[in-house]
Structure 1
Amino acid sequence: MEAPDVGAQPETTAAAVGDHEAMDMVAEDNMEPNPSQVLAYSETYSEYDERELLLLQRTKETVQMIARDEVNDAIAEVFKGVQSTGIAEADYQRQCEKFHDMLIDHYRRTQSTVSVSPIWDGHDKPIHTVFVRPNLNYITIENDGSRRKTDNKVLQYKDLVYKENKLIKRVIIQGEPGMGKTTLLSKFVLDWCEAASPESQEYRANFSDLETLKGFKFLFHLSLRDSPETSEVVKMIKTQLIDKMYADEDERKQVYTLLQHILKTDKCILCMDGLNEWTTDLNNDPFPIIATCHKQCVALITTRPWTMVDKRIKDSGIDLLIEVSGIMDKEQLVIFIIKSRQTNTSKSHKRFMSYVKEHKLEHFLASPLLLTLLVSVWINSQHFSGSLCEMNCILLDNLFRKATKHEGKFSHAQFLCLKGTNYIYPRVEMLNSLAKLAFECTFSSGKSLVFSKEKVLESLSPEHLKFSLQAGILSERYISSLRSEFSFLHETMQEFLAAFHIAQSNGISISSILGTIRHVLEICQVFMYLCGLDIEKANTLLDSAVHDLKGDISHGLSAYVNGRTNCVFL
């Protein structure tokens, strides 16, 4: 037997088997799978697809459920929002009505009366019993910046708040001291109250178109003097109105929040009295700040003419400029004041008018303040001697009171007309400075009723000038962007103060006085006042004047002076 042949065969078989497995593996890639394999694979994939489909189905159902819940929640929120919006709107309207009614009640308590005696502030009467319609004239701003008073008058409320059916944003109402600006604004407030909530069928409005005011849902009346350190109107409303109308702090906050929305959405009138008394230095804005978003607000601002000289005030910042220049019916006001001051008819307005004509006091009737003052001193005749000098001292004393709180009396007054005053003595140097200015403007280079700031500062210090403007003794009026002019409250006040300066000064030459005038009759009023202050100096002036006159003029002047001197006494 040959051993090698038998032992070699198994090795060969093993190698062949390995090659066969390798070939089978290759065959699996190159040959189509058999049915049993396809079935196995299909079952495996089917199970996978079912699981995947089940997962997808469950995911879809979950998403649908979540979406359905979210949609339902969203719909519920919408309905809830609609419902809450309705409730909020209704609640807002209720809050507005409550605030609106509270304002009207507040105004009818605080704005319904006016003083009928400049001498005694506490003596007041309902405005409707003494109010006489003022003259309101339009002022045009020329191309060169100057301002010219026209003869056109404001005759309706519509003319004050609308222009070409559009709201006027800022209306300036200027007027000299005592012309009734504050009373006019108070009457405006009361007219709005009557339009918004009628109280009497017999109510007399300032203008006939009361329905115009009814179109404004709210009106806010502010005294700028009472908010000297506040620049924003909304904050002024809080301190001057809300804090006074509501006691609870939480309620104040709620109403203040309500106010923000009102000013943004509703038509409102903002009445601001006394721009000349507003002393804030918080910003460079010459007017109280009204937020830009308060587009439905109309601002009515009263002031004195000198305030409008402020260089910060641009022409474009004045939408409408109005001037208060006295009242339409002076005699009617006399009737009202006399009726309000006495319980009987012992003193009639006819007797008063005769008194005015007899003493040539018609010029006092141009201003409601002076008219009321004159009626007061006439009724209280025991306190008024009847001299023009005393009348002027009474007036000056009341004007001084507006700018100072210090009181004091003359123990040994140089002039008797000063004896009854209460506010001049502590600031007597002010009176002397004003008298010097009046003299310089009357006699230095011919009589001048208007004068420059440079002329004023020759006699008054800056402090004295500020005091005089605050008191209303002097007025500053805007002429152009570079110039303003000054004047006394009235020509007669200037003449009285000029005479006062002559009477108290020893170094004034009578000849120098006469040398500055064209005719001696030009200083007739000054001479009359001088007769009441210092008769000796008046006689010296008269002698010098008569010496210069000729023929009939000399005799006529002497007769006139002698006749007038008998009417002037201390």
Structure 2
Amino acid sequence: MSLDALDCNERLCLRVSLSCLARHLAKFTCIYVRDCQIIITDLRRRLVDHYNDTTSNVPLSVLDQSLDKRITDIYETPKIHRIEITKDGKRVKKEQVLTYKELFYTDDRKPNRRVYVQGEPGSGKSTFAAKLVHNWCDGNRPSTAAPNDHSSFDDLLIIQNFQFMFFIALRESRGSTDVTHMIKKQLIDTLYSDEKREAMYKLVLKIIDTELCLVVRDGLDEWMAPDGSNLLEPSMAGFPNDKCTVLTTSRPWKLADERIKNSQIDILVEIEGINDPYTFCERVLRCILDESKNPKLTALEIRCFMSYRKLTSLSYSPMLYTLFICTWTDTLEEEDPWNGFSLCALYTTLLESLCKKANDITGFFNDLNPPQVKCFSSSKYLRPIIQKVDVISKAAFHLLFSPEKEKSIVFKDHELSNYLTQSEQEFALKAGLLSKRKTKKAFNSSISFVHKSIQEFLAAYHIASNAHLIDYVISGYLRHHAYRDALLELSQVFIFLCGLNVSAANKLSVIMNEHCIKRMGGLYESRTFQDITLAGYREAIANAQTGILLRLSHFEIDEINVMEMYNIWRENKSNVMHLGIIVNHETYRDIHCSPTQCEPISQVEFDLSSCHKLIYLELKGSGIQIQGKI
């Protein structure tokens, strides 16, 4: 029946019915929209609470995940640079990135939908991602957000423009291929009871399709595709490019894979550590020191010690620096760290921290299976993978002392394959001992140890177990390279070796001293070699080594080193060729034993009657008394 056939009453009734239906539909729609908004608001609140309980707390130590602190207590602004991918594929470090706007937008307008943040192990990638999440949460809390006390990345409105943020720890979803499934498993299944999960998952899919979202994929290098899959990274299927921004953190070796196309990267940045190590040190100390100690003074003491022991480069890596600070404070409880701090113990802890990332199975050395070096005896993650550590250490040694100097620190895949199998390379990359970076040339990558000092520690460990290499390899290395360069290149290996195997270090010091005598160019070289020998002596003492017989022919003794140099001199009376002593009686009480403890040095007697090779003698200062004839 057509509308024209209806009489007036019927038409009026129909209009009234349609009007009522429209009102009911409008009311129902309002209720539905209101209910949806309530559910969406509740989801956002739950996400904020979840992130506040998880990502807003970060562990101080990789070895002890239970020792965690609020990110706001220890966070320090990272040093981030944009990496330009040129037309020929080369990656060039450019300007420093200081704001979220620079990270998420190009030319202030064009959004960067695919953001990649790369960095070496311990550089602060995950902490930066966690702080990003924390900043988003601050804008979605009912109360007023806490003020941001960091000068960089303080443009929080850029982050709060995202209606939703989904943080995914990729290591927790190994074998899963879709980010939507990861969101369900890591977030929805955690936030909701079983009967609500399916409905909430559908709602999240709708939100992803309609709202401006940020997905943070943390740790691409820790994710594994399922067997038989050729995926290099999880699928973002279902995420519209115009609505969703994806920030991915990874180590450089993962992004060096040719399957990641340059066109798939809107912006690539690299975290190189922290901007202000001194402030970071204070923050960490405030979290671990008791109230009786002054964090500012302790931070200053640590900075002086690191400068004194030439360890300043460690302070720019949050992981290395935190390990150092914690090791320092542990030593502080037992003895004066200026005298008892062991570099070998520090690097053993670092080695464990890295290897745990690739294999977290525990195992202990014991009387039936003793370690080759004493500092490994208390470790709990090295015993199960000690064979891998051995072969990686062998590679570290042979590459470091390669006849081709340009290949000693940075090398190629085929050069590394001379020492490591493919599975051993993968272990070293996953652990973070090795770093791989993409180069301009196809099918080739630049590889290096994550930090030169780690390569030197592993090389020293290999020498400690294979002392014959001192004669067969290192002696030739010293002969064929400029003395000063070779001495400096060898110095840190020698210091580590003194703590690992002083017998081998004694042997190496004889060869180094011989080259020092033959090729020395002046006072600078002799003092440099003495400083290296003194540092080695201190490391041997810190590791309770006995039979310390380090060879030295040229001595420059002053108030600061008089006691330690005297101990070295006692074992070198028949070798001494040059002896200079400069001390003043009135400065004895000012001698730096440690910033917190100074005691006057007792009288020291240098008996020169056995110094048959002595050529040069210099005595200066009011603190010297001469007995006998000269």
Under TM normalisation by the shorter chain, which class is it? 0.7 to 0.9
Quickly say closer, same or farther: Cα 1:558–1:273, change in 2 above 3 A: closer
Quickly say closer, same or farther: Cα 1:517–1:425, change in 2 above 3 A: farther
How many percent identity over aligned positions?
Answer: 31
Q: How big is the shift at 1:512?
A: 3.0
Task: From 251, 256, 266, give the equivalent of 2:201.
Answer: 256
Quickly say closer, same or farther: Cα 1:561–1:342, change in 2 above 3 A: closer
Letter in 1 for 2:181: K
Letter in 1 for 2:430: Q
The answer to whether residue 255 in structure 2 is matched with residue 308 in structure 1 is yes
Q: How big is the shift at 1:286?
A: 2.9
Equivalent residue for 2:163? Answer: 217
Quickly say closer, same or farther: Cα 1:68–1:457, change in 2 above 3 A: farther
Letter in 1 for 2:188: I
> Contact 1:446/1:517 (CA < 8 Å) preserved in 2?
no
- The aligned runs of 1:414-493 (5 Å cut-off) are 414-447=372-405, 448-480=408-440, 481-493=442-454
Give the whole-Å Cα distance in 2 for the aligned partners of 1:92 and 1:201. 26
The answer to whether residue 347 in structure 2 is matched with residue 392 in structure 1 is yes
Give the whole-Å Cα distance in 1 for the aligned partners of 2:64 and 2:3. 90
The answer to whether residue 442 in structure 2 is matched with residue 496 in structure 1 is no
Determine helix, strand or coil for the equivalent of 1:178.
Answer: coil
Deviations for 1:17-52, whole angstroms, at most 9, x for unmatched residues?
xxxxxxxxxxxxxxxxxxxxxxxxxxxxxxxxxxxx
> Contact 2:397/2:460 (CA < 8 Å) preserved in 1?
yes
Q: How big is the shift at 1:366?
A: 1.7
Give the whole-Å Cα distance in 2 for the aligned partners of 1:443 and 1:58. 97
Quickly say closer, same or farther: Cα 1:546–1:351, change in 2 above 3 A: closer
Quickly say closer, same or farther: Cα 1:272–1:551, change in 2 above 3 A: closer
> Contact 1:141/1:315 (CA < 8 Å) preserved in 2?
yes
Quickly say closer, same or farther: Cα 1:441–1:538, change in 2 above 3 A: same
Determine helix, strand or coil for the equivalent of 2:217.
Answer: strand
Equivalent residue for 1:410? Answer: 365
- The aligned runs of 1:112-261 (5 Å cut-off) are 112-150=56-94, 152-163=95-106, 164-197=108-141, 199-200=143-144, 202-204=146-148, 207-247=153-193, 249-261=194-206
Deviations for 1:205-259, whole angstroms, at most 9, x for unmatched residues?
6522112222111111110111112222221111100110111x23112211111
- Which ranges of structure 2 fall in alignment gaps of 5 or more residues? 544-630
Give the whole-Å Cα distance in 1 for the aligned partners of 2:184 and 2:2. 62
The answer to whether residue 45 in structure 2 is matched with residue 97 in structure 1 is no
| Greater fraction of residues in helix | 1
> Contact 1:495/1:526 (CA < 8 Å) preserved in 2?
yes
Equivalent residue for 2:571? Answer: none
Q: Which moved more, 1:495-504 or 1:431-440?
A: 495-504
The answer to whether residue 283 in structure 2 is matched with residue 336 in structure 1 is yes
Letter in 1 for 2:460: A
Q: How big is the shift at 1:456?
A: 1.6
Quickly say closer, same or farther: Cα 1:71–1:308, change in 2 above 3 A: same
Q: Which moved more, 1:210-219 or 1:299-308?
A: 210-219
Q: How big is the shift at 1:415?
A: 1.5
Deviations for 1:154-206, whole angstroms, at most 9, x for unmatched residues?
22212222234233211000000001111111111110011222645543265
Determine helix, strand or coil for the equivalent of 2:381.
Answer: coil
Equivalent residue for 2:580? Answer: none
- The aligned runs of 1:35-50 (5 Å cut-off) are none
- Which ranges of structure 1 fall in alignment gaps of 5 or more residues? 1-56
> Contact 2:496/2:536 (CA < 8 Å) preserved in 1?
no
> Contact 2:63/2:352 (CA < 8 Å) preserved in 1?
no
- The aligned runs of 1:502-513 (5 Å cut-off) are 502-508=463-469, 509=472, 510-513=474-477
Deviations for 1:124-149, whole angstroms, at most 9, x for unmatched residues?
11111111010111000011111111
Letter in 2 for 1:492: S
Q: Which has the larger radius of gyration?
A: 1
Q: Which moved more, 1:536-545 or 1:225-234?
A: 536-545
Give the whole-Å Cα distance in 1 for the aligned partners of 2:144 and 2:25. 43
Task: From 522, 526, 537, give the equivalent of 1:566.
Answer: 537
- The aligned runs of 1:546-557 (5 Å cut-off) are 546-548=513-515, 549-553=518-522, 555-556=526-527
Q: How big is the shift at 1:96?
A: 1.1
Letter in 1 for 2:494: F
Quickly say closer, same or farther: Cα 1:557–1:162, change in 2 above 3 A: closer
Letter in 2 for 1:235: H
Deviations for 1:535-564, whole angstroms, at most 9, x for unmatched residues?
333333333333343354574455334322
Instruction: Provide the TM-score with structure 1 as the length reference.
Output: 0.84
Quickly say closer, same or farther: Cα 1:264–1:546, change in 2 above 3 A: same
Instruction: Provide the TM-score with structure 2 as the length reference.
Output: 0.76
Letter in 1 for 2:513: V
Letter in 2 for 1:396: L
The answer to whether residue 492 in structure 2 is matched with residue 525 in structure 1 is yes
Letter in 2 for 1:114: V
- The aligned runs of 1:311-390 (5 Å cut-off) are 311-346=258-293, 348-381=298-331, 382=334, 385-390=340-345
Between the two proteins, the alignment pairs up a number of residues equal to 512
> Contact 1:167/1:296 (CA < 8 Å) preserved in 2?
no
Letter in 2 for 1:422: K
Q: How big is the shift at 1:451?
A: 1.0
Give the whole-Å Cα distance in 2 for the aligned partners of 1:122 and 1:367. 21
Quickly say closer, same or farther: Cα 1:458–1:239, change in 2 above 3 A: same
Deviations for 1:418-474, whole angstroms, at most 9, x for unmatched residues?
112111111111111111111111112244211111122211121211111111111
Give the whole-Å Cα distance in 1 for the aligned partners of 2:240 and 2:21. 31
Determine helix, strand or coil for the equivalent of 1:326.
Answer: strand
Q: How big is the shift at 1:311?
A: 1.4
Letter in 2 for 1:476: K
Quickly say closer, same or farther: Cα 1:117–1:100, change in 2 above 3 A: same
Letter in 2 for 1:479: T
Q: Once superposed, what is the RMSD of the aligned Cα atoms? A: 2.7
If asked which structure has higher relative contact order (CA below 8 Å, sep 6+), I would say 1
Give the whole-Å Cα distance in 2 for the aligned partners of 1:451 and 1:84. 68
Determine helix, strand or coil for the equivalent of 1:276.
Answer: helix
> Contact 1:118/1:372 (CA < 8 Å) preserved in 2?
no
Give the whole-Å Cα distance in 1 for the aligned partners of 2:311 and 2:288. 20
Give the whole-Å Cα distance in 2 for the aligned partners of 1:63 and 1:275. 72
Give the whole-Å Cα distance in 2 for the aligned partners of 1:561 and 1:468. 30
